[in-house]
A = this chain, B = another copy of it.
Amino acid sequence: MEKVSLGTNAFIFPMPVVLVGTQAMGKANFMTVGWVSRVNASPPMIAVMINKAHYTTPFIVENGTFSVNVPSADMVEKTDYCGLVSGGKVDKSKLFDVFYGSLKTAPMIKECPLCIECRLVKALELPTNDIFIGEIMASYADESRLKDGKPDFKKVNTLLLTMPDNGYWTIGERAGKAWSDGKKLMSKAEKK
């Protein structure tokens, strides 16, 4: 099959959508972020990539904390709203039911099925974005969205973002088991 060029600004997989929480000028503030990933296994660390111009940016550095909140698909309007309006212009502190963990300055969203509380361990400047790396100090889930103590992703019903078509999506069907399905292709020698 012949390939066609898509240029350099490639967004080629669905991105998880989260709400990043910061304490800003004494109030909880949340922004929508699609560039987020676990970055270290042990200790567990997560990174969020945020454009330097955002209201959130200096407060992550000032507080040395932030939160990562995973909205469910039924929160799509509020989630999108947090990406449309800046905390510098609009008070978003009343938009959600907010709670705090032991870090005190990382506001989290009760309506979100899953919330992560982070301590900033490193910030890295890139040309237009900052990478904020946080050590995960605690995480919180709704018991009703768990199965055997683990998130049941159909119940969590997270949002995914695709670009450049700017689509929100839900998670689909199970397609396999990781660290398992590929064993069929392993030779006897490789299995040893």
Contacts and interface: CB of A to CB of B under 8 A. Distances in A.
Interface of A: 1-18, 35-47, 49, 51, 68, 70, 73, 76-85, 89-90, 99, 110, 114-116, 122, 124, 126-129, 131, 133, 135-144, 146, 150-151, 153, 156, 158-186, 190
A12 B117 CA distance: 12
A18 B9 contact: no
Contact of A173 (B45, B141, B169, B182): B169
Given A168-B174, A186-B84, A13 B13 contact: no
Contacts of A90: 190
A169 B172 contact: yes
Nearest to A81: B182
Given A139-B7, A182-B81, A186-B81, A168 B162 contact: no
A10 B81 contact: no
A4 to B, nearest CB: 5
- Tallying the copies of this chain within the complex gives 2
A176 B76 contact: yes
Contacts of A190: 85, 89-90
Nearest to A108: B3
Given A162-B153, A182-B80, A136 B176 contact: no
A2 B97 CA distance: 12
Given A49-B38, A126-B45, A165-B153, A1 B178 contact: no
Nearest to A97: B1
B49 A8 contact: no
B12 A37 contact: no
B39 A182 contact: no
Given A8-B136, A143-B4, A76 B175 contact: yes
